[in-house]
């Protein structure tokens, strides 16, 4: 499972970014795909997960309706649209994938499994600052 997270950058508070998670060699549409983040000095935390079973989505409470996770199967990519960004959203963002057919899981359950067992790539850095 090879994933590439991209789209991070420097944005002012209140601004928007769209992160991309692109896959190589396997169809993301068959996978639960989750976004995580790790802020300096903090533990990695789950942000959102898109189910590979029914396209339902889980969002962490801190998202507060500001982020949207979506999938473009033609591009084999999952996006995280982040609006109304806050300085506390500053973190390195990572994506992970878990094959949906392996077990019957909700998006949150899949995120928890990935949180526990994923091998993390480089991620993409999001900095929210004026």
Parallel, antiparallel, or unpaired: how do β-strands 17-24 and 2-6 relate?
A: antiparallel
Mean pLDDT of the 81-91 span: 98
The per-residue pLDDT for range 31-75, each reduced to its tens digit, is 999 999 999 999 999 999 999 999 999 999 999 999 999 999 999
Distance of CA 106 to the CA centre of its chain: 16
pLDDT higher than 70, residue 1: no
Distance CA 120, CA 109 (A): 18
């Amino acid at each position: 499972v090879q994933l590439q997270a991209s789209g991070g950058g420097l944005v002012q508070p209140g601004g928007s970014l769209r992160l991309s998670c692109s896959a190589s060699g396997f169809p993301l549409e068959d996978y639960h795909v989750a976004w995580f983040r790790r802020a300096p000095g903090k533990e990695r935390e789950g942000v959102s997960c898109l189910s590979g079973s029914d396209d339902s989505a889980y969002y962490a409470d801190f998202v507060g309706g500001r982020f949207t996770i979506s999938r473009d199967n033609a591009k084999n990519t999952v996006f995280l649209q982040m609006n109304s960004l806050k300085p506390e959203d500053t973190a390195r963002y990572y994506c992970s994938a878990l094959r949906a057919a392996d077990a019957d899981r909700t998006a949150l359950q899949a995120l928890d499994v990935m949180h526990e067992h994923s091998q993390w790539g480089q991620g993409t850095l999001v900095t929210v600052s004026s």
